[in-house]
């Protein structure tokens, strides 16, 4: 039976098939047919290869297009920007990945590091917990100083792996977090997402990096919770958190301890005490009070049990930056590599406060003086929303180990804040 067209076009295994059909010798016609069918086959094979190749390249075009549409990182140009930003310009300098770089503390620390010649790459997801345009303005400031901020989330393991692939970061300054004590009642899962899941994703990336970076990260004074012994010392128990925010920060301290213990990551946790200053966070009391006073709107001033005023150990941003940089400088090395611990690594926790608590009504009076306007005070009993009555830091440990010495009192710091606020927003502009 002559071979069907189908057989000629799609022989299963050509050589074997022909030998079986002809039992040995072939005549001219058979040779010609064989030659003709082989060349047809060859042409079809070429056609199929070309078809497959064009399909695959179309697919990769679609994939890369999709990547560019939904992911704002990757590519040769992006890698170049990351590398340039990470370049060290001083002897003995470090290259630091700063998470939350478009945030309040993150932007200040990034600038300070860049100014003294360290390499800095920022990472920030630019979420809308508060007005993202303020974060974008901070980003522009950093860009003008040569700091590149990658737009991405600390929960994105692929992005983190890529960053460590492109740059051998010596340090990570981890400041990305869901902040705010009272907002935790509104959106509890955002705290778990950033402060727990995001932290673990970041630590996983750091543990696997080779070399492993040293990590300095933001814990919080809120871990002291309902403690009554003052001032708060790092050796005090911290097992009475008053808010979910505090609980996630406390959990962060325990989680980082396990990564130090198992993988040899060098860890420094900083308990910040109500940080304030220029380029600050609009959700915080000093900031929202300023906005409302300027707009002639009332402010709500909480009052504690038995009509006792609430008090905070307000700490000025420049002092906090010095504490952060001092922590990076003294962090010591991580000891692991490739996910394996090679020896013990430092695990440290420091209070970064101001050591002189001020009551909230006094904070309002200082603002009134600087703004030359009277506040419309609406005094209410503190609702059970996660607030603690007072905070007060003992900073002897940070002073000894980091050379930390706060120098700005609330009066001076708020003057600088008000000056910045008026230059940034003017007198009447609305802030979200």
Ligand X SMILES: O=C(O)[C@H]1O[C@H](OP(=O)(O)OP(=O)(O)OC[C@H]2O[C@@H](n3ccc(=O)[nH]c3=O)[C@H](O)[C@@H]2O)[C@H](O)[C@@H](O)[C@H]1O
Residue 326: half-sphere exposure toward Cβ, Cα within 13 Å? 21
**Residue 124: DSSP 8-state:** E
Contact region with ligand X (CB under 6 A), list: 174-182, 255-263, 412-420, 423-431: 174-182
What is the x/- site pattern for ligand X, positions 194-223, by CB under 6 A? Answer: --------------------------xxx-
Q: Which residue has the tokens 């778990």?
A: 192
Structure tokens that stand for 27 in this block: 């005549």
272 binds ligand X per the rule CB under 6 A: yes
Catalytically annotated residues: 245
| Residue with the CB atom nearest ligand X in the bound state | 220
> Helix/strand/coil (H, E, C) string of 252-288?
HHHHHHHHHHHHCCCEEEEEECCEECCCCCCCCHHHH
> Helix/strand/coil (H, E, C) string of 374-398?
CCEEEEEECCCCCCCCECCECCHHH
Tell me the site size for ligand X, rule CB under 6 A. Answer: 18
Preceding omega of 71 cis (within 30 degrees of 0):
no
Q: How far is residue 250's CA from residue 228's CA, in Å, rounded to a whole number?
A: 18
Report, in Å, the least distance between residue 346 CB and ligand X: 23
107 binds ligand X per the rule CB under 6 A: no
**Closer of 57 and 300 to ligand X (Cβ):** 300
Which of positions 273-312 make contact with ligand X (CB under 6 A)? 273-274, 284-285, 300-302, 310, 312
Report, in Å, the least distance between residue 288 CB and ligand X: 6
Residue 363: which residues within 8 A CB-CB, separation 6 or more?
285, 286, 289, 312, 314, 410, 414
Candidates 386, 66, 89, 336; CA nearest to 223 is 386
- Which residue of 360, 402, 410, 418 would you call a contact of ligand X, by CB under 6 A? 360
> In what helix (H) or strand (E) does residue 371 lie, and over which residues does it extend?
helix 360-371
Contact region with ligand X (CB under 6 A), list: 8-16, 66-74, 256-264, 267-275: 267-275
327 binds ligand X per the rule CB under 6 A: no
Q: How far is residue 287's CA from residue 420's CA, in Å, rounded to a whole number?
A: 11
Report, in Å, the least distance between residue 253 CB and ligand X: 13
**Closer of 98 and 360 to ligand X (Cβ):** 360
**Closer of 169 and 390 to ligand X (Cβ):** 390
**Closer of 301 and 345 to ligand X (Cβ):** 301
**Closer of 81 and 221 to ligand X (Cβ):** 221
Report, in Å, the least distance between residue 202 CB and ligand X: 19
Which of positions 385-424 make contact with ligand X (CB under 6 A)? 387
176 binds ligand X per the rule CB under 6 A: no
Report, in Å, the least distance between residue 273 CB and ligand X: 5
Q: How far is residue 327's CA from residue 351's CA, in Å, rounded to a whole number?
A: 11
Q: How far is residue 107's CA from residue 125's CA, in Å, rounded to a whole number?
A: 13
- Which residue of 179, 247, 320, 431 would you call a contact of ligand X, by CB under 6 A? 179
Site residues for ligand X per CB under 6 A: 179-181, 220-222, 272-274, 284-285, 300-302, 310, 312, 360, 387
């Amino acid at each position: 039976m002559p071979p069907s067209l189908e057989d000629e076009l799609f022989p299963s295994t050509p050589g074997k098939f022909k030998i079986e059909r002809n039992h040995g010798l072939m005549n001219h016609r058979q040779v010609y047919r064989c030659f003709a069918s082989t060349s047809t086959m060859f042409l079809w094979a070429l056609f199929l290869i070309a078809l497959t190749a064009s399909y695959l390249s179309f697919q990769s075009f679609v994939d890369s297009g999709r990547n560019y549409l939904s992911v704002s990182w990757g590519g040769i140009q992006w890698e170049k920007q990351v590398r340039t930003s990470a370049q060290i310009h001083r002897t003995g300098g470090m290259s630091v990945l700063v998470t939350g770089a478009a945030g309040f503390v993150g932007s200040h620390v990034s600038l300070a590091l860049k100014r003294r010649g360290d390499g800095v790459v920022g990472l920030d997801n630019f979420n809308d917990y508060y007005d993202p345009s303020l974060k974008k303005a901070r980003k522009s400031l950093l860009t003008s100083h040569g700091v590149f901020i990658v737009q991405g989330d600390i929960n994105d393991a692929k992005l983190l792996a890529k960053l460590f692939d492109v740059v051998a970061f010596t340090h990570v300054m981890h400041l990305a977090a869901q902040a705010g004590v009272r907002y935790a009642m509104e959106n509890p899962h955002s705290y778990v997402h950033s402060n727990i899941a995001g932290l673990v994703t970041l630590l996983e990336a750091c543990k696997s990096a080779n070399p492993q970076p040293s990590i300095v990260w933001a814990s919080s004074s809120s871990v002291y919770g309902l403690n009554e012994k003052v001032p708060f010392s790092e050796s005090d128990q911290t097992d009475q958190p008053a808010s979910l925010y505090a609980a996630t920060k406390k959990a962060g301290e325990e989680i980082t301890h396990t990564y130090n213990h198992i993988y040899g990551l060098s860890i420094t946790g900083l308990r910040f005490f109500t940080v304030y200053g220029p380029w600050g966070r609009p959700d915080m009391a000093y900031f929202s009070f300023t906005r409302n006073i300027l707009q002639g709107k009332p402010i709500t001033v909480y009052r504690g049990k038995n009509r006792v005023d609430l008090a905070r150990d307000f700490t000025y941003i420049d002092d906090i930056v010095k504490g952060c940089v001092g922590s990076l400088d003294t962090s010591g090395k991580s000891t692991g590599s490739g996910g394996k611990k090679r020896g013990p690594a430092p695990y440290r926790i420091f209070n970064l406060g101001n050591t002189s608590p001020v009551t909230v009504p006094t904070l309002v009076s200082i603002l009134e003086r600087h703004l030359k306007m009277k506040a419309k005070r609406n005094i209410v009993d503190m609702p059970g929303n996660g607030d603690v009555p007072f905070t007060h830091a003992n900073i002897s440990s940070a002073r000894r180990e980091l050379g930390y010495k706060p120098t700005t009192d609330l009066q001076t710091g708020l003057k600088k804040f008000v000056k910045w606020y008026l230059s940034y927003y003017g007198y009447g502009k609305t802030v979200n």
